[in-house]
Amino acid sequence: MENVTTTTSDVSEEGPRNKAFNALIARVQACRLCPRMDDRLRVLGPANGNIHANVLFVAEAPGRLGADRWAIPLFGDQTGRNFEALLREAQLDRNAIFITNAVLCNPRDASGLNATPKRQEVTNCSSHLRGTIAIIRPRYVVALGKTALQALNLVALHDVQLSRNVGQLIPWHGRWLIPLYHPGPRALIHRPLALQREDYRRLGLLIQSNEDAH
């Protein structure tokens, strides 16, 4: 297992936000809306990150060799290694952010490989994403890929298109939405890692300059 620190706010503390997060975790763990993911891990808990984070990343779904194994989103597989490298480009500390997914369980195809979540599965999980955003109250929501944008559109409507708006700071739902490509191997066909590194460097500068302006 690669080295990573997943320290977050202590959700055992009896603050209102901690109570709300613990209640959300309980609802997620009890959820059985998606039959093909009934026996998968529900990846939402303290290892997702800092519940007081200013930046929330929304990816697609837990990977079978990553989050479905370690219960840590964007960690433990090639996608996770790519993401860790990209975070360094943005000069963002994993302990200061929160990471979740459009779908909180790992979807697999008939061969047992990672699959894209179905639209209904994204819809089923949208209440959990809405609850996460309400609890974290991030200033910035970074959508990693089209599925994340689809999920966020169920929380609050937007007209963001990944290819058109990649890396832009867009007002959404009382905060800023920033669409980026997913760091997984499949997405590298559409956005090579070298370009994604540039995207994340701009992301870090964009967040910093926007914070400085306030």
Please say if the pLDDT value at position 61 is more than 70.
yes
What is the average per-residue pLDDT within 56-74? 97
pLDDT, residue 210, reads 84
pLDDT, residue 108, reads 96
pLDDT, residue 11, reads 53
Higher pLDDT, 159 or 8: 159
- At 31, the pLDDT band (50, 70, 90 cuts) reads very high
Query: By the 8 A CB rule, do 42 and 31 touch?
Result: yes
pLDDT digits (tens, 9 = 90+) for 199-208: 999 999 999 9
Mean pLDDT computed over every residue of the chain: 93
The count of other CB atoms within 10 Å of the CB of residue 145 is 24
Beta strands per DSSP E along the chain: 55-59, 98-101, 140-144, 170-172, 175-180
User: What is the CATH topology of the domain spanning 16-212?
Assistant: Uracil-DNA Glycosylase, subunit E (3.40.470)
pLDDT, residue 100, reads 98
pTM over 0.95: no
Please say if the pLDDT value at position 176 is more than 70.
yes
pLDDT, residue 188, reads 92
Kindly list the domain boundaries of the chain, sorted by start residue: 16-212
Residue 108 CA from chain centroid, whole number: 19
C-alpha separations of 69 from 76, 171, 180 in Å: 8, 35, 25
Please say if the pLDDT value at position 8 is more than 90.
no
